[in-house]
Amino acid sequence: MNRKIAAVIAGVLLAGLLPGCSAQQKAEQPDIYVICKSKDSYWDTTRWGAVDAGEEMGLNVYYEAPETEADLDVQIKMIQDAIAAGADAIVVAPLDTDALNNVLRDANLQGIPVLTIDSDVSYAGRAVCVSTQNLSAGAIAAREAAELLHAKGEVGVICHKADAQTAKERMGGFVTELDGNVVDSDGYPEISVVDVKYCEGDIERSKEGTKQLIEEHPDLKLVYATNQPGTVGACQAIEELGLADQITLVGFDYFQGADIYITHGVLDGVMTQNPYNMGYLGVRYAKKLIDGTAVPSIVDTGATYVNAANLNDADIQWLLNPIVDRPAFTD
Amino acid sequence: MKKNKISRVYTFAGILLVAFCILNLVIENLVYVNSRRIYDRNISSVEYLSGMNDCLSTIDDNVLMLVAGMQNNTGTDIFDNIEQGFQELFQWEGRYNALPGRSELEERRYQQASLSIAAYRKKINEVRNVLPVAGSEMARAIYAQELSPLQVCAAEMLDATIEIGTDQAEKNVRRSSILHGISQAVLILLALLGVVGMVIASRRALAANDEIERQSEELEEASVRLDRSRQKMEDAALMNILTGMQNRYALESRLERSIGKSRFNIAVFDVDNFKAINDTYGYETGDEYLACIAERLREQYGNTAEIFNVHGAEFCLLFSDSISDMQAQSLAEQIRQSIGTMIDAGGISLRSNVSGSLWHVLPNENLTVNDVLKKLDEALHAAKRDGGNRLYQIT
């Protein structure tokens, strides 16, 4: 037989039997851009959630974040670049409630679905918001505080910002739950929020604010801190004052070393979010949108109250350290 | 030789074909078993995880009944139903855990689903004393803010686990199919190569056979040439070079076949004083003279007798069976005289007397070749002794 004919037959056979090369499949994978708020290590957890979802669902996940949470313009530029790059979906943790509306609208006009994680925007065109519902988290914190106070006593608040959405909601949910204004109940009439100190999310200022609260309100029984720096500052103040037995502290956002404060009774409990699930579910819902699957407009990733009683539970340990076995990102 | 070689080629081709078929069957079987295993595992996995998810939904329904302040129709405690739902869920979980071959991705997602379920169950137990006594709005808030996110998360993780498992199974089956395709292609190539090899081997065998046949023919030709050469040598041995007539050896050989078998007439002639011709005219003329005698005998008596030049100027004629004794006697005399007539040998006219002897040999005389020739010679010499130019008949 002629060698060339044999070679051609073999080639055709092999070509016919090797369907769908991996390069082609790679090209067909949707591109999902995940843009978070800053390069702070807190967001690594969210990033791993997004990366895992991409790996499991066969998606190209591109992660970006501005240096700090003050870089709003950088975040807007990143969204614009994602649109220009032909993103199939954009998942963003917005730095501002309103400032991103225009660029997100542009994305929608290009047929790119937009999802928010961690916090929301006022733009009605965003498809899904995957986050902790801060009003709910505030309410849960209030119920836990009420239980610690046996439904009686003065409460002071260390709030990070007067105009920040998360601060307003965490404050609002807390106060409303105690007042019983929204829910059809009497609330906790013997608990009163006597003062709020706005500390700009700064540890030192939060520490000072806590000391002021305690000094200005001798009958103060509980401090509620609305974010992580506030909680750290409050812990330091109570510890320095040696008032762990007198002052109850309910904080927000678990931090490294919080377990020691909890063990020593300085920090009675801390509301903990699930940043891994925000990243994971954000990308998962983005895929659902690309596939045309119906999705809810709000997905509550929940807020878990962590205290000495449940600190060592397996689910809590995973919640506190979801990426403990993962390598650090180098970019 | 040719048959052996071709037979070997076909045997090889047969073995190759059988090996091809067996290998093909083995690969087909492996691919089928593997695909079947993946398929069965995936079906079971989906069934068990869906069972867990259904249990979660049932538990959630019961939780909602609690939140809504409804009572169970069966009168049983709703918390008992919830716990029963979890026990059923754990049974599905046990079956799922017993399945082999979970991928790393599936395992990772399943672990998170499992932790979410544990957190959900724990939270239900935490609020079980609060929910029934809380006001309906409070109960709803607890459900929406604390229970529902955990239940939704657990359900999402279970769904994701199912999707990963299914996707992984599809990939494995696809990989298996590709491997099968490659194996088939390789086998087909092997078969093609086998056929090509067989054709090449056959052609080589045929070419070798042609070469052997050619060599055989050459050998045969050489053999024929050798036979001819041998014949020529034999002829030369039996031939008188000068006269081109058969010599004494040929005569002896011829007589071997006739003596004792049939009667025959044989005569011998010799030129009287032939030596004098050689001496007078030289050997060349003598030779020419003998050649002319031979030519004359061949022309005149070639059809009547076999003629031999025994040696020198001595000729022997073995008459045909059809010649009678009387005819032989007459012919012998005629021949003797014919030899003795004038002959032009190389421009020289020569004639000489000729003596001869004749014998009617009978089959029952118990003679040898030597006996015959000796007797003829004796008679011939007697004729010469008696003055030559005469024919003596042996009686």
DSSP string, B246-292: B-HHHHHHHHHHHTTTS-EEEEEEEETTHHHHHHHH-HHHHHHHHHH
Do B20 and B93 lie in a common domain? yes
Task: Tell me the C-alpha distance between A166 and A208, whole Å.
Answer: 22
> B377 in contact with A at a CB cutoff of 8 Å?
no
Does residue A304 surpass a pLDDT of 70?
Answer: yes
Do B168 and B290 lie in a common domain? no
Confidence of residue A21 (pLDDT cuts 50, 70, 90): very low
> A177 in contact with B at a CB cutoff of 8 Å?
yes
Model pLDDT, residue A174:
95
Residues 187-216 of B with CB under 8 A from A: 188-189, 192-193, 195-196, 199
Model pLDDT, residue A205:
96
Identify which of A14, A140, A177 has the shortest CB distance to residue B185: A14
- pLDDT tens figures, A114-168: 999 998 999 999 999 999 999 999 999 999 999 999 999 999 999 998 888 889 9
Look over chain A and give the mean of its residue pLDDT values, rounded to a whole number. Answer: 89
Model pLDDT, residue A14:
43
0.95 surpassed by pTM: no
Do A66 and A127 lie in a common domain? yes
In chain A, residues with a C-beta closer than 8 Å to the C-beta of B160 are 56, 284
Model pLDDT, residue A185:
59
Rounded to an integer, the average pLDDT of A188-197 is 93
A215 lies in some domain? yes
Percent of chain B with pLDDT over 90: 41
Do A114 and A158 lie in a common domain? no
B60 lies in some domain? yes
CATH value at residue A77: 3.40.50.2300
Does residue A181 surpass a pLDDT of 80?
Answer: no
B208 lies in some domain? no
B219 lies in some domain? no
B43 lies in some domain? yes
Domain that holds residue B255: 248-394
Task: Tell me the C-alpha distance between A98 and A121, whole Å.
Answer: 6
A174 lies in some domain? yes
DSSP B304-364: TEEEEEEETTEEEEEE-TTS-HHHHHHHHHHHHHHHHS-EEETTEEE---EEEEEEEE-GG
Q: How many CB pairs under 8 A join A and B?
A: 100
In chain B, residues with a C-beta closer than 8 Å to the C-beta of A315 are 115-116, 118-119, 122
Question: What is the radius of gyration, based on Cα positions, of chain B?
Answer: 63
Model pLDDT, residue A7:
45
Domain boundary pick from B147, B175, B203: B203
The tokens for B53 are 């998810």
**Complex ipTM:** 0.85
A106 lies in some domain? yes
A315 and A144 in contact (C-beta within 8 Å)? no
Do B179 and B324 lie in a common domain? no
Do B194 and B282 lie in a common domain? no
Task: Tell me the C-alpha distance between B285 and B275, whole Å.
Answer: 12
B230 lies in some domain? no
Model pLDDT, residue B133:
64
> B185 in contact with A at a CB cutoff of 8 Å?
yes
Do B265 and B337 lie in a common domain? yes
Model pLDDT, residue A3:
46
A239 lies in some domain? yes
Do A59 and A116 lie in a common domain? yes
A124 lies in some domain? yes
Local confidence pLDDT in tens for the 395 residues of chain B: 556 666 777 777 778 778 878 888 888 788 888 888 888 888 899 999 999 999 999 999 988 888 877 765 555 688 888 999 999 999 999 999 999 888 899 999 999 999 999 999 999 998 887 776 655 778 888 899 999 999 999 999 999 999 998 888 888 888 888 888 887 888 888 778 877 877 887 888 888 889 999 999 999 998 888 888 887 777 666 677 788 888 888 899 889 888 888 889 999 999 998 888 988 888 889 889 999 999 999 999 999 999 999 888 999 999 998 899 999 999 999 999 999 999 988 888 898 999 999 999 988 878 888 999 999 999 999 999 999 999 999 98
| Least confident piece of the model among A233-247, A313-327, B121-135, B229-243 | B229-243
A19 lies in some domain? no
Burial of B389 (0-12, 13-18, 19+ CB in 10 A): middle
The domain tally of chain A equals 2
Task: Tell me the C-alpha distance between B16 and B22, whole Å.
Answer: 10
Model pLDDT, residue A40:
86
Distance between first and last Cα of chain B: 67
Do A297 and A237 lie in a common domain? no
> B144 in contact with A at a CB cutoff of 8 Å?
yes
Higher pLDDT, B227 or A300: A300
B233 lies in some domain? no
Amino acid at A81: D
Q: What angle do CA B211, B214, B215 make, to 5 degrees?
A: 85
A95 lies in some domain? yes
Amino acid at A281: L
Higher pLDDT, B246 or A93: A93
A180 lies in some domain? yes
Instruction: For an interface test with B, give the residue of A144, A315, A321 to mutate (most B CBs within 10 A).
Output: A315
- A47 C-beta neighbours (distance < 10 Å), count: 22
CATH value at residue B265: 3.30.70.270
B122 lies in some domain? yes
Do B34 and B150 lie in a common domain? yes
Do residue A302 and residue B153 have CB atoms under 8 angstroms apart? yes
Model pLDDT, residue B262:
85
CA-wise closest residue to A221 among A171, A175, A170, A156: A156
Do A75 and A143 lie in a common domain? no
Buried b (16+ CB within 10 A) or exposed e, A127-137: bbbbbbbbbbb
Instruction: For an interface test with B, give the residue of A21, A56, A129, A177 to mutate (most B CBs within 10 A).
Output: A56
Do residue B195 and residue A177 have CB atoms under 8 angstroms apart? no
B83 lies in some domain? yes
B173 and B39 in contact (C-beta within 8 Å)? yes
Do B263 and B186 lie in a common domain? no
Domain that holds residue A248: 134-272
Identify which of B105, B108, B160 has the shortest CB distance to residue A284: B160
> B179 in contact with A at a CB cutoff of 8 Å?
no
Model pLDDT, residue B176:
81
Do B68 and B180 lie in a common domain? yes
Do residue A52 and residue B108 have CB atoms under 8 angstroms apart? yes
The domain tally of chain B equals 2
CATH value at residue B70: 1.20.120
